C-alpha cells in the first residue's frame, strides 16, 4: 500500500520522495521483491515509470522516489524532498531518520509518514505517534458501534474482521450511511 501511495503522490502531486528502510539489504528486498513486481504487473505503473530504473531510485512521472537504507556507512542522501516515508522506523538508525526528516525544510509540503512495529514507549514510531494528532480509522458496524481495528476484531475459526460488540462481520467498504474515517480516539 505504501508503494502504491508513493507512486500516486509522485505522479499526481509531483512530489519528490525519500523512502527509507533500516538497511540497504531491506531496500534491495523491498524494491526488487515488491516495488518492481507491482510495476511489472500493472500497465499504468509501467507507463508512469517508463525509463530504466535502478534499485535506489525511480522516476515516476516528473518526480523521483529515492530508496535508502539507514544503517549504511554512506552519508544520508542530501537531496531535498517533499515527502519522507520512514518504513520500519524502530529498526532504523534514529539519527538518520531524523536527518532525512530535515530534507523537507525547503518543501511547501513537508509531508512525513512514519510506520513501524512499535518496540518500546518513547522510542521510534511511538515518539511520532505522541507528536501526532493520534487519529484512528473508525468503522461503523450495522449495530451502530464505532470502532477502530485491533487484534480483538479478528474472530472466528475462519478468521474475519468482526464487530467487538455484536460479532457481525465489519464491512470495510460499506459504511451504513456515514463515512468510515479518521477520528481522534479520545
Pick the closer one to Zn ion by CB: 29 or 142. Answer: 142
Pick the closer one to Zn ion by CB: 79 or 143. Answer: 143
Write out the residues near Zn ion by the rule CB under 5 A.
141, 143, 145, 163, 165-166, 168
Nearest distance, CB of residue 176 and Zn ion, angstroms: 10
Nearest distance, CB of residue 118 and Zn ion, angstroms: 28
If phi > 0 it is left, if psi is from -120 to 50 it is alpha, else beta; for residue 101 that is alpha
Pick the closer one to Zn ion by CB: 32 or 143. Answer: 143
Count of other CB atoms within 10 angstroms of residue 30: 19
For residue 181, what is its C-alpha cell? 474515517
Nearest distance, CB of residue 173 and Zn ion, angstroms: 16
State the Cα–Cα distance between residues 110 and 103, nearest whole angstrom: 9
Residue pair 147/138 in contact (Cβ under 8 Å)? The answer is yes
Amino acid at each position: 500500500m505504501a508503494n502504491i501511495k508513493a507512486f500516486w503522490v509522485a505522479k499526481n502531486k509531483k512530489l519528490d520522495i525519500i523512502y527509507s528502510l533500516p538497511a540497504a539489504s531491506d531496500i534491495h528486498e523491498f524494491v526488487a521483491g515488491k516495488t518492481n513486481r507491482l510495476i511489472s504487473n500493472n500497465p499504468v505503473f509501467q507507463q508512469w515509470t517508463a525509463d530504466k530504473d535502478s534499485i535506489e531510485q525511480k522516476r515516476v512521472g516528473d518526480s523521483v522516489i529515492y530508496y535508502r537504507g539507514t544503517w549504511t556507512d554512506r552519508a544520508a542522501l542530501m537531496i531535498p524532498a517533499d515527502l519522507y516515508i520512514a518504513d520500519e522506523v524502530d529498526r532504523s538508525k534514529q539519527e538518520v531518520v531524523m536527518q532525512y526528516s530535515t530534507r523537507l525544510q525547503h518543501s511547501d509540503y513537508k509531508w512525513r509518514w512514519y510506520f513501524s512495529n512499535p518496540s518500546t514507549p518513547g522510542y521510534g514510531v511511538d515518539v511520532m505517534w505522541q507528536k501526532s494528532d493520534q487519529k484512528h480509522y473508525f468503522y461503523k458496524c450495522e449495530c451502530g458501534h464505532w470502532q477502530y481495528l485491533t487484534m480483538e476484531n479478528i474472530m472466528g475459526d475462519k478468521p474475519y474482521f468482526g464487530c467487538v460488540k455484536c460479532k457481525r462481520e465489519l464491512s470495510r467498504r460499506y459504511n451504513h450511511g456515514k463515512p468510515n474515517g479518521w477520528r481522534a480516539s479520545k
